[in-house]
Structure formats: C-alpha cells, structure tokens
C-alpha cells in the first residue's frame, strides 16, 4: 500500500471516531471548560515563567482531548500525565526559584516524587500552611488522589500489558476507553485547581478574585474556598 493511501485510511478512521466522540457533548464541554479555567487562572499569575508553564498545562489538556476525539487514547493519557506533572511543577517552582531556573536552563528535571512528597511536596501540610492554611484539611485526600491518578495514567505511558487489551493497529472508537479518559481528565484538572488555589488565591487582589468566579463553582465542595469567595458556611 502506498504511504498516502495508508495515511488517508487512518485519517478516514480518525474522522469516523471523531464523529462518534462528538456525541459526548456534555463531557467534552466539561473537559474544555476545565482547561479554559486553568488558562484563565494563569493570566493572573505574576511570574512569567510560572504563567507559561500553566498555559502549557492548559494546552496539554486540550491536546489530550483532541487525541481522545481521534481515537488515540494512549496519547491522550500521556498528555494528561504531562499536564498533571507540569501543573504541580508550576506551584512547586513558585516556591523553589533556584530549581525553576535550573529547569529552564535544562540542568534539572521535574521529579514526580519531589512534587508529591508527603512532607515537602505541593500537596503537603507544610506547603498549605505557608500559603493557605485551611487547605491542610484536605491535603491528605488530594495527595492520595494525585498519586492514584498518576499511577493509573502511568499504566498507559509505560505500556502495561492490560492497557493493550482489545486494541488493534487500526484506529477504532472505544466508548469504554473514552469514558475512562473523561474520568481521568476530571481528576487531573481537579487536582491542579486544588493546588493552584492553595498556592495563589491569597496572593490575588479582590478585583482579581472577582474574575475567578469559576473557582468557587468548581470547588464548591470545599467550604473554606467557598467562604473565601464570600459564599455561605456549612
């Protein structure tokens, strides 16, 4: 088969999957909304390097959804994992400027174990006490959630045997895999918004907080966030 024929066939398959995926309007809308929230959040971060990292996080979330729409589910999960790493890294680097500049200069790497460290990571009591103490109430829950989500995404990155079950060389629509993608995408964005809110909310002016109305909406299950935005207690 000529290469152009082969690629045209794959494109036809991807377009067929794309049309099937568009039926999941509500889930696609939620995924896009969450990536837009992170982009909007980034616009209020003062440090230009941190801002750019968060813009990249938003772009990775959009890239993940596009891959899922075309039936490239493994690539979608890989992009989600990168978004999760970089979302937490933005908060970590905001408190470790030397490591930020070493990373920007290619002399340091983002280490997941460091980001998620129980005592010194960005979802730790120490971190929360430094920036928004009330978040200490939920750091254990969210740290465990982050570890679990990262592990699930890593199964696709590392090619665990079970992630290849029921897959073929040809692209094909997989509703079960798509639904798992939407679940993981929600978890990733939820974790990132939790960490970003902990790190940055108290650095924002009242006028900035007024533009972030999506935060109390997306995090309405957390009372101290809701109250911080003027919402009711209890």
Domain ranges of the chain: 3-228
Q: Return the structure tokens found at 32.
A: 């896009």
Could you tell me the pLDDT band of residue 1, with boundaries at 50, 70 and 90?
A: confident
Structure confidence at residue 156 (pLDDT): 80
188: nearest Cα among 52, 37, 49: 37
pLDDT at 165 over 60: no
Contacts of residue 43, Cβ cutoff 8 Å, sequence gap at least 6: 51
Spatial separation of the C-alpha atoms in residues 104 and 139, rounded to whole Å: 28
Query: Is-contact 122 88, C-beta < 8 A?
Result: yes
Is residue 234 over pLDDT 90?
A: no
Q: pTM of the full predicted structure?
A: 0.93
Sequential DSSP letters for 194-206: HHHHHHHGGGS-H
CA 143 to the chain's CA centroid: 14
Chain segment 42-95, per-residue pLDDT in tens:
999 999 999 999 999 999 999 999 999 999 999 999 999 999 999 999 999 999
């Amino acid at each position: 088969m000529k290469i152009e024929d082969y690629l045209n066939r794959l494109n036809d398959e991807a377009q067929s999957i794309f049309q099937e995926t568009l039926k999941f309007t509500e889930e696609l809308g939620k995924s896009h909304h969450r990536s837009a929230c992170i982009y909007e959040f980034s616009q209020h971060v003062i440090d230009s390097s941190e801002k750019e990292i968060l813009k990249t996080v938003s772009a990775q979330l959009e890239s993940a959804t596009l891959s899922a729409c075309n039936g490239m589910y493994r690539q979608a999960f890989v992009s989600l994992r990168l978004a999760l790493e970089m979302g937490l890294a933005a908060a970590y680097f905001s408190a470790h400027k030397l490591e930020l500049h070493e990373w920007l200069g290619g002399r340091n790497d983002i280490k997941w174990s460091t980001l998620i460290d129980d005592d010194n990571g960005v979802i730790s009591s120490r971190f929360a006490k430094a920036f928004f103490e009330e978040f200490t109430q939920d750091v254990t829950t969210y740290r465990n959630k982050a570890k679990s989500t990262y592990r699930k995404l890593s199964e696709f990155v590392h090619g665990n045997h079970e992630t290849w079950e029921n897959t073929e060389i040809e692209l094909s629509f997989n509703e079960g895999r798509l639904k798992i993608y939407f679940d993981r995408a929600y978890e990733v964005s939820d974790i990132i918004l939790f960490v970003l809110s902990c790190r940055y909310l108290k650095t924002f002016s009242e006028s900035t907080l007024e533009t972030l109305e999506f935060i109390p909406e997306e995090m309405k299950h957390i009372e101290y966030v809701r109250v911080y935005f003027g919402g009711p207690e209890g």
